[in-house]
Amino acid sequence: MKNLQITSLISEIESYVLSLPYTKVSNHQMGGREFWVKGKEIGHIHRNGDLDILFTKAIRNKLLSHNLIEIHKWIPNSGWTTFTVKSESDIQK
């Protein structure tokens, strides 16, 4: 059931991203889907619900200070962050 729920949430996120101007969605090399704006990857979501988003370090630090995201575990000294999508409330627009 949980995998089906995550798959549904990923589809909702993908549909929303595609509704924005200049966006494209494609397969991510590590599984899941990646999101592009004007030829630049801005984020990707893995099949387990880990949503990795690129922010400036200033924005990343502000989000971290409010415990809204985590530092990306593989490239911690970058602007990449991780937010785990678990339920519908995590993706409210």
At residue 30, the pLDDT reads: 84
Give me the numbers of helices (H) and strands (E) for the chain, helices first please.
Answer: 2, 6
Q: Give the 3-state secondary structure of residue 33.
A: strand
- What per-residue string of b and e applies to 22-35 under the rule 16 or more CB within 10 Å gives b? eeebeebeeebbbb
Neighbours of 92 (CB within 10 A): 6
| Single pTM value for the model | 0.87
Please state, in angstroms and rounded to a whole number, the distance separating the CA atoms of residues 57 and 54: 9
At residue 77, the pLDDT reads: 86
Specify the CATH number for the domain of residue 56: 3.90.1150.30
One digit per residue, the tens of pLDDT, for the chain of length 93 reads 567 888 999 999 999 999 999 999 999 998 889 999 999 999 999 999 999 999 988 999 999 999 999 999 888 888 899 999 998 898 875
Domain holding 84, by residue range, is 2-91
Number of structural domains (the chain) is: 1
At residue 93, the pLDDT reads: 58
